[in-house]
Each structure stands twice: as C-alpha cells, then as structure tokens.
Amino acid sequence: MNAFIAPLLASVLLQDPAPEKRAIVVTLHDGSAFRAAPPAERLSLKTPYGAQDIPFKDIRAIRRLSEREVQVVTASSVLPGEVLARECVFETKIGRLKVPWGDIHAIGAGFGGSLLLDEHVVALWSFDGVREDVCRDLVKDRPLTLHDLEPVQLPAAPALRRKSENAYGEAVADKDLDAGGGDLTIEARFRIGSKPSTRGYTMIVSKNDKANERNWDYWLGVQNGSLYLGSASAKGSFTVTTPKSVLKAEEWNTVAVVLQPSKQTITVYVNGKGVHQARQAFEVHSNGSAFYVCAGPQAQKFAAAPEEIQVVRLSRIARTPQEIENLHEGLAGGAPARLRRANKGIELRDGGFLQADFPALEFTTPMGKLTLDAVSGGELTLYRVRRKELEPLAKEAREQVDKLNTAGIEERAEAEVRLLTIGAPAVPALREHAGSAYAEVRARIEQILKKFEERGVLKEHPADVVRLGETVLHGWLDVDEVALETLYGSLRAPLREIRAIRLGPVSQEGRPVATLKSGQKVQGRPREGHVVEIETAFGPLKVPLKEVTELLPAEGGWSLRTAGASIRGKAGSESLRLETPAGDLTIPLADLAEYRLPK
C-alpha cells in the first residue's frame, strides 16, 4: 500500500450504516482525527477517464495516494483522481472546520471518532494512555493492570514492551469478553522478538481462571511460527492450529481470529491474509474469568510474553476479509488506534483528536490555583461529570438507593440500572446502605458495588486530573467550554465533548516530589526562603526547604534529611510551598506521605 494511504480509515470500510448513524471520520496530516457529518456538497473529481461529481453520502473512503492524487471508494467503484475543490467544510460536535484538501490524509465511514471503534467493538486497548501501570480500554474504560510491561513510543505508534518473559496485563472478568453467545473476532498486533522464548511458546491474549489451571475460556498463542487458538476445562480441551511459519519472529504481526458458531467456522488471518479455516464450532469450556494480555499467571508455566504488543481488539461480529486486510495495512502504515498525537490539542470523548492552541486555563485544587497554558505545558484529563453536577447526582443516588427498599419490583430494577449509570457519585450512598436490614437491598447493593469494582469505578476520584511532569493532582476546570484556535478555524468546544487537553511538554527533571496520602503527587521547586521548622529534643531548628532531600513521617513526628544532616522531631511548620510550572501550591503537612528528591 502506498505510504500516503490513510493508515486506519481504510480499516473502517464498513457496510454503509443507517442514515441516522451515518458519519465520516477525517484524518489530517498533523495527526488530528475527528468525526463529522458528511458534507452536503458533492466531491468534484478529475479522473484519467473524465470528471465525476460524487455525493459525499455515497463515498465510503477517500485515500491519499500522493500529494495531488487521491483514491475514492464508493459501493460500486474505485476511482483515482485529483480533487478540484481547494477546501472542504466539516460540521463536527465542537463546531465547523474548513480544511484545505492538501491537509487531508484520508476520509472514511465510521460510527465513532476513534479509528478502530465502531458499534461492534466490545473492547479496545491501544496502549497510548498508560497511567500508573494501568491502561483503560476505549469502549467501557476497563482498567488493564500492567505487570512488568512498560509503555514505549515507537516510531510508528505507542506500544507495550515486556520487561521480562512473565509480563502481562490483567482485566477483571466481563461477559463482553467471553467466547460464545454469537460471533466474535479477536485481533491483536504484536512482535515476538528475535530472541526465542526459553519456554518455546508465546502467549498473546488469554482468558482463564488463575485459581484453576484447567479452566481456560480461550487462549491465542504462538509456537514455531504457528498460531494456536484453544479452550480447556476439566471436561476436555479444544485447539485450532495454523500451518507453521505463518508468523515472523522479528517482525510485527497482525492476527485476527473470527469465530462464527452459527456456521461452525473458525477463520484465522495473519497480516491481512486468511491462513487457515476450521469447519467446526468453537467449544466453550469455561467462561467468566479474567482477561489477560500476554502471559498471565497460569500461562507463565509454559509461555512467555511477546517482545512488544500494540493493539488488542474484540468485536461481537465476524469481521470481513476486507476489514481485516485494511486493519493490517492501516496499522502497518504507522497509525495506532488513536494515531500519533501532537504535543498540543484536545482528545475528544468519541476517540478523535484535534491539534489546537488554547488560552490560559485556571485549574482549582485544594492546595491552590494553577494556570495551565503553553508555558506550563502538561495534560488535563477531564472527569465525565462536572463539579456542579456532582451534588444533584449524589442526591439522585440517595433517592435511587431508597427505591431499592420501598419500590415495586420493576422500579427496583430501574433504580439499579440508574445507579450503575451514575457511577462513582453513587458510591457513598451505596456504602451507607450496604448494611441494610433487608436482604434484597444488601444483595442488590453488593452486586452494584461488585460491578463498579470490575469496571474500576471504585478507584475513580470524581475530579479532573492535571499532570505536570510527576505532578498528578485532582481539581476542577470550572468552565463549560474551552476556546480553541486551530489552523481551520476558531472553536468553542463544550467540556462534555472533551476527554483530555494536551498543553505541551513539561520539564521538571531533578525537582523534588511531594507524595500525598491520597496518592496524588506534586513536583516543583521549593519556594525561595521557605523553611521547615522541626522541634527536636534539644530545641527548634529551621531548615531551608531547598536543602531538604527527604521528609518522612516518623514515630512521634518527622524524619528530615539534608546532604549533611539527619533530624527527627515534631513539625513546627504546617505546610510546604512548592513552585510548579503552573503556579505555587501549599501542601499541608497533615496530608503529606513523603517528600524527597528524585534519585
């Protein structure tokens, strides 16, 4: 495929969606990608065989072949040619964009802004948003907890790289990830590595019971260049194996396994091509266990993790050969699920990204206000609910919890569904009534809290999160919309449509880090002239904060170190003052877990 061809929009050549869902996904050369309604006008195309005026509603994809030439794909034809218009106008959720045709990388059909997302995807991890050893999927925000895996930015795309052969990521049980119950397509892109595994087998993904080594919902692994798919329990096992050497050890491989129970067919694709088909139903021996990327605990007895892994996607549909080929070509062309991102711009909740500049943004924290702009740099992740909405949601949650006890059967079921929708703001009310005298209420609350735990909701802190170097701090951006300056027009984007705001790189190397008891962190330069007062057994001492290398809680007070001293005593100070790139923060000592210079 030509290097200019759209990396992933070609992978979204789906059958035309229903008119009310019809949308296009536009990618630009700068890495921006956004969802828009098809333009009302026609596309004027000069082809080698004559001019064509094609309604946008009939176009499935536009692929750039060179600086001047594109390829237009409709349901009935594929035409190369030159677009005669100078620009195209797109209506998006955040406003109108006028984009020169020369800046457009590709246009394709799609249901969502993220280039690998459509209505059939039930799980998608692209590994470009790892935070504190957790990567969340783009469908249900499921946390994938990483063990011995580190995020890396490769020339083409983000990925996970193993630190050891025992590396793996774990997601809790979720019925959407189970085999059975209809068609299922499992896709992954990975590199095995040039060094052969000491165990002879490489595990890509699996779903198994870590408490019982005999129960495997399914596994997908590699040995001697063959791909293996299987399921097992105490009742028996089932395996499908491809011919040998269909996978290359030192190269990236894109694999897809399509399970079609109704047709009793299993089809395996490697790097976009069908390599094996088994005329039999997939035998599901077990379901309801954890999902693993790479070598989970049970697999480590015989399998190792791949060297690197880039994308894992599960879809409740039998992907077509064309979709699978386009997925491989798109990923091989150098674009991950969410594309390579520029330093500045907004990530949209539908998975898109738009490069942009911003005015200064005021971020409020309990320790002070920060001014976020291009000078401060950093990244701001927005909570799905705004601060002014939290109390009304908490009040509604209390009312819904009351219905679990007093309402009729249908109303109780509706209350449970609503509480699941409210999410984290409902947790305090649920925990308050977890000890209800009524068994049914206790059971329903226990079930809801269990689902919250599986989805990572119990670990949520209902607040926005700012990141500046090692600073990770909760607070709020108290505005309803953000002004954006793009190359294609000025916009006012509602916060409800924005997942994250990227303001640019941050340089904080060598500066001390204060870790709070809540797990939040503040990295910054000690405020000039600020001292830490310590009451020792022999009298008070005043130590300039800029000389402190470590400050830790100790029995009966604090332990303080400098380059030449070690001091214990009670704190005479109430707080620390640190200067961050976005402003000064005052950290109460009562909230401090530790303060130290980075090693």
pLDDT one-digit tens code per residue, 354-409:
999 989 999 999 999 999 998 899 999 999 889 999 999 999 999 999 888 776 78
How large is the average pLDDT for residues 255-284?
89
Same domain, yes or no: 500 and 556: no
User: Looking at the domain assignment, is residue 337 inside a domain?
Assistant: no
Amino acid at 468: L
Residue with tokens 């530790």: 594
Asked if residue 367 and residue 450 are part of one domain, the reply reads no
> Which of 480, 504, 528 delimits the end of a domain?
504
Is 68 part of a structural domain of the chain?
Answer: yes
Q: Is 394 helix (H, G, I), strand (E, B) or coil?
A: helix
Torsion, Cα 485 487 488 492, to 10 degrees, reads -10
* Dihedral angle computed from the Cα positions of residues 425, 426, 428 and 431, in that order, rounded to the nearest 10 degrees: -150
Query: Torsions phi, psi of 428, nearest 5?
Result: -55, -45
Over residues 513-557, the pLDDT tens digits come to 999 999 999 999 999 999 999 999 899 999 999 999 999 999 889
Residues 359 and 493 in one domain: yes
Residues 95 and 147 in one domain: no
Per residue in 410-469, pLDDT (tens digit) is 888 888 889 988 989 999 999 998 888 788 888 889 989 988 887 778 878 899 999 998
Can you give the pLDDT at residue 109?
53
Helix segments in 423-477, DSSP class H: 427-432, 439-455
Q: Are residues 553 and 491 in the same domain?
A: no
If asked whether residues 254 and 154 sit together in one domain, one would say yes
HEC secondary structure over 28-43: ECCCCEEEEECCCCEE
Give the Cα-Cα-Cα angle 48, 51, 53 (nearest 5 degrees): 135
**Separation between Cα atoms, residue 276 and residue 315, nearest integer Å:** 20
From the number of C-beta atoms within 10 Å of its C-beta (0-12, 13-18, 19+), residue 320 rates as middle
Confirm whether 440 is domain-assigned: yes
Chain centroid to CA 166:
23
Q: How many helices (H) and strands (E) does the chain have?
A: 5, 47
- Are residues 391 and 378 located together in one domain of the fold? no
* DSSP secondary structure letter of residue 111: S
Q: What is the DSSP string of 315-384?
A: ESS---HHHHHHHHHHHHTT--TT-PPPSEEEEETTS-EEE-B---EEEEETTEEEEESTTT-EEEEPPS
Q: Same domain, yes or no, for 561 and 470?
A: no
Residue 69 vs residue 178, higher pLDDT: 69
Same domain, 351 and 486: yes
Q: Which two tokens stand for residue 49?
A: 């065989």
What whole-number distance in Å separates Cα of residue 470 and Cα of residue 525?
12
- What domain range includes position 151? 121-332
Q: What sign for the dihedral angle of Cα 9, 350, 32, 509?
A: negative
Q: Is residue 339 part of a domain?
A: no
236 and 320, same domain (yes or no): yes
Rounded Cα distance between 244 and 240, Å, is: 12
38 is a domain residue:
yes
Rg (CA), the chain: 27
Position 2 in a domain = no
Same domain? 263 vs 184: yes
User: What is the spatial distance between Cα 68 and Cα 84, in angstroms, rounded to a whole number?
Assistant: 10
**In which element (H, E) is residue 536 found?**
strand 531-536
Total domains in the chain come to: 5
Give one DSSP letter per residue of 285-300, joined into a string.
---S-EEEEE--TTGG
By mean pLDDT, which of 144-158, 265-279, 553-567 is the weakest? 144-158
Strand segments (E) across 58-140:
59-64, 69-74, 78-83, 87-92, 95-100, 104-109, 121-125, 134-136
Rounded Cα distance between 290 and 219, Å, is 12
| Helices 387-406 and 439-455: angle between axes, nearest 10 degrees | 140
Residue with more model confidence, 288 or 320: 320
Could you identify the residue written with the tokens 């950290």? Answer: 587
Kindly tell me if the per-residue pLDDT of 12 is higher than 50: no
Say yes or no: 379 and 393 in one domain. no
- Label residue 114 by pLDDT band (50, 70, 90): very low
% pLDDT > 70, the chain: 87
Choose among 416, 353, 371: nearest CA to 92. Answer: 353
Alpha helices (H) along 186-344: 321-332
